[in-house]
Amino acid sequence: MTTSVFEPRCAASQVKKVSIISAGMIGAAWAGRYVSNGITVKIWDPDPLARQSATEMILKAWSLQHSADPDSEILKEQVVFCTALEEALLDVDFVQESAPENVELKRNLLKSIDSKLGDGVLVASSTSGFSISEIGQSTKNPHRFLVGHPYNPPYIIPFVEIVPGPLTPASAANWLSEFYSTMGMRPVVLNKEVEGFIGNRLQQAVWHEALHMLNSGEATVEQIELAFTHALGPRWALMGPFSTYSLTGGANGMKGFLTKFTNSNEDNWTRLAAPNMNEVLKEKLISETESTMATFDHDDIEDWRDRNLIKILGTLRTA
């Protein structure tokens, strides 16, 4: 990442108007998130049917966020459907691009956006797997392009992955992180570019193993689904694999887990190649996990996990 500084049109907390480029499922959902937070959105999509579906999505998102029926004036005041790309990019503070996952389409679209957009405005792509190096680094102003990947639906799921390119200054990623935070989201800025980012890579690993089990006749779709909804899912709603295994290690945390389960951890249970569990990786696991959980008492977090698991499972039973 470069050390140059991004000079924004306005502070992240003062964004008033956002451009939504492509209003399919993700773009419309982004619009719903922004409108629900008082932002005016200018929407452009070449598909004439997008206006109706986007309108429905925005109203749905608003009603869910506010637990009430949307005011009839909301769309008139906060949503502007544009017939030309230039119109959608005029006088906006930020651009969220959510075009279909096609490399050439996105490259050409980002070049077009760059040529028509004013200075000091960031462009975040909702791409689910492409790096900004692939789709945005050949623009005239590559420093203002980066990935802002949400999880569907963005008006409910708060997690969003920010992935700068090698030419994106840290100040740009920081600005975007602050902006998403003001929208009630939980942004994470990745340290470096990687295809699929964090969530999709993890999802794909699990998906591949599920397909292996299904294909070999080791488990049925129903059995695999139950393993998620009644075991992994409730736990993962509260903590990730590092925290989970740290609790498994007892009072000694990750160090205890690695000591007790060294042999089983090296078993090749999945069809995916495992990394070499050398001393460097062990130390990294222990130090980073202990740092993450340093403010929590082992017994307290175990109690917190159990109480919330009961609530989650109760909700699932009701559902």
Q: State mean pLDDT over 59-64.
A: 89
What HEC string does 197-222 produce?
CCHHHHHHHHHHHHHHHHHCCCCCHH
Nearest-angstrom CA–CA distance, 303 and 295: 15
Q: Using pLDDT thresholds of 50, 70 and 90, give the confidence band for residue 267.
A: low
- pLDDT at position 64 over 70: yes
Same domain, yes or no, for 26 and 160?
yes
Q: State mean pLDDT over 234-251.
A: 90
Q: State mean pLDDT over 255-274.
A: 75
User: If you write DSSP's letter for every residue of 251-266 in order, what string do you get?
Assistant: GGHHHHHHHHSHHHHH
81-98 as b/e, with b when 16 or more CB fall inside 10 Å? bbeebeebbeebbbbbbb
Residue ranges of alpha helices (H) inside the chain are 25-36, 50-66, 74-78, 85-89, 103-116, 132-135, 170-182, 199-215, 221-227, 233-236, 241-248, 253-260, 262-266, 279-292, 298-318
Model confidence pLDDT, tens digit, residues 134-158: 999 889 999 999 999 999 999 999 9
Q: State mean pLDDT over 222-236.
A: 92
Same domain, yes or no, for 179 and 292?
no
Q: Would you state the structure tokens that stand for residue 309, as one six-digit string? A: 């698991």
Q: State mean pLDDT over 63-83.
A: 84
- List the 79-82 sheet strands across, edge first: 79-82, 40-44, 17-21, 94-97, 122-125, 145-150, 159-164, 186-189
Res 185: pLDDT: 95
Q: Using pLDDT thresholds of 50, 70 and 90, give the confidence band for residue 73.
A: confident
Within-domain flag for 6: no
Strands 159-164 and 145-150: antiparallel
Q: Using pLDDT thresholds of 50, 70 and 90, give the confidence band for residue 4.
A: low
Q: State mean pLDDT over 104-124.
A: 96
Asked which of 87-96, 245-254, 260-269 is least confident by mean pLDDT, the reply is: 260-269
Same domain, yes or no, for 169 and 55?
yes
**What is the extent of the structural domain holding 314?**
199-318
Contact 12, 180 (CB under 8 A): no
- pLDDT at position 264 over 60: no
Q: Using pLDDT thresholds of 50, 70 and 90, give the confidence band for residue 45.
A: very high
Neighbours of 102 (CB within 10 A): 13
- pLDDT at position 204 over 70: yes
Within-domain flag for 113: yes
Res 268: pLDDT: 67
Q: Would you state the structure tokens that stand for residue 33, as one six-digit string? A: 């998130």
Same domain, yes or no, for 181 and 204?
no
Per this entry, what is the length of the chain? Answer: 319
Percent of the chain exceeding pLDDT 70 equals 96
Within-domain flag for 272: yes
At position 296, the amino acid (one-letter code) is F
Of 217, 169, 220, the closest CA to residue 4 belongs to: 169
Strands 122-125 and 145-150: parallel
Domain-terminating residue out of 149, 170, 189 = 189
Phi, psi of 124 (to 5 degrees): -110, 130
Same domain, yes or no, for 176 and 278?
no
Same domain, yes or no, for 231 and 310?
yes
Comparing 259 with 124, which gets the higher pLDDT? Answer: 124
Same domain, yes or no, for 135 and 240?
no
Nearest-angstrom CA–CA distance, 138 and 34: 29
Q: Using pLDDT thresholds of 50, 70 and 90, give the confidence band for residue 2.
A: very low
Within-domain flag for 224: yes
Same domain, yes or no, for 159 and 205?
no
Q: What is the pTM of this model?
A: 0.89
Model confidence pLDDT, tens digit, residues 246-263: 998 998 999 998 888 766
Nearest-angstrom CA–CA distance, 269 and 272: 8
Same domain, yes or no, for 78 and 136?
yes
Of 8, 20, 174, 180, the closest CA to residue 109 belongs to: 20
Contact 92, 85 (CB under 8 A): no
- pLDDT at position 23 over 90: yes
Same domain, yes or no, for 39 and 150?
yes
Of 44, 51, 47, 53, the closest CA to residue 25 belongs to: 53
Same domain, yes or no, for 31 and 152?
yes
Same domain, yes or no, for 228 and 141?
no
Nearest-angstrom CA–CA distance, 4 and 131: 20
Strands 94-97 and 79-82: unpaired
